[in-house]
Structure 1
Amino acid sequence: MTYTAQMLDTYPADINLEHDQLSHVIDALSSCAQACTACADACLSEPADQLPMLARCIRDNLDCADICTAAASVLSRHTGYDARLTKAQVEAAIQATKTCGDSCAEHSASHEHCRVCAQSCRETEQALKDLLPKLTPSGKGAEQPHQAAPQQRI
């Protein structure tokens, strides 16, 4: 069991999403962010004459890493949950993983790190797409942000 799954299982309030799927998506986002960061670094280590054709790939890697990290963070927070905000973040991550996956796929025949990164992006994109319908605001309370309990004053 991953730490993500353990944290979801120990959350003291209800989470309106299936824990196994949610932990899988959060772990996939974190893994994808790492793969994208490593791929950008590997691209920068390629011979200097190849860097101009890898510039967009590097940019897409870095954007995807940042967006995946943000999405994993948003999906890990449940106090004050706002389905509209979470849905928008997941949609951004779907676009980022698609863009980066496409960009890396262009170089996958000649750069193994791009092949691995493209695969990570594709798997994460699919996991996000599978989760997205479950985030659609239903109008049954999850749409509106919940009020967090006030902080205790000492």
Structure 2
Amino acid sequence: MTHHISAMLGSHPGAAGTPAVDKEKLAACIAACFQCAQACSSCADACLAEDMVKDLASCIRTDLDCADVCAATGSVLSRQTGTNVEIVRSLLEACRTACSVCATECEQHAGMHEHCRICAEACRRCEAACAELLGSLG
């Protein structure tokens, strides 16, 4: 997935006017955001199919919130024309927080539900990718 993201970032004619950023970290973060959004959406759906769905209400809500934040972050990071570093930094912080909260919630259920374990891993990867990209913004 990062190959296509890197190719698109590299071919963008407006990228020269954007602030200097490590393109590998940017591509990795975009991929992690979209992968996490998918994992969280799938986890929420799987939680809805569990017999104990009422006990998973917080997990479902957290999954859906994280999915939305990750999808928005991935979309904004994909735009290279006229990037606003303050907005990017705020989104990365919000995404990192959403992923941390979601991972912690899913880890509570990971022993019983494989989908929660997988989701928690995706959230931790995205959290780390956001932190890496934030660190490279300076």
TM-score range normalised by the length of the shorter chain: over 0.9
Distance, in Å, in 2 between the alignment partners of 1:131 and 1:77 is 15
Match in the other structure for 1:28: 32
SS in structure 2 opposite 1:70?
helix
Q: Percent identity?
A: 43
Instruction: State which drifts further: 8-17 or 124-133.
Output: 8-17
SS in structure 2 opposite 1:43?
helix
The one-letter code sitting in structure 2 at the alignment partner of 1:4 is I
Structure 1 segments (4+ residues) deviating >3 Å = none
> Which protein has the larger Cα radius of gyration, Structure 1 or Structure 2?
1
Query: Root-mean-square deviation (CA), in Å?
Result: 1.1
Distance, in Å, in 2 between the alignment partners of 1:82 and 1:24 is 19
More helix by share: 2
Match of 2:93 among 91, 113, 123: 91
Q: Which structure 1 residue ranges, 5 or more long, are not aligned?
A: 137-154
SS in structure 2 opposite 1:130?
helix
In the alignment, is the contact (CA less than 8 A) between 1:43 and 1:54 conserved in 2? Answer: yes
Distance, in Å, in 2 between the alignment partners of 1:128 and 1:85 is 14
Match in the other structure for 2:12: 11
Distance, in Å, in 2 between the alignment partners of 1:117 and 1:108 is 9
Task: Give me the TM-score of the superposition, normalised by structure 1.
Answer: 0.83
Greater RCO between the two (CA within 8 Å, min separation 6)?
2
Structure 1 position 114 matched with structure 2 position 106: no
Task: Give me the TM-score of the superposition, normalised by structure 2.
Answer: 0.93
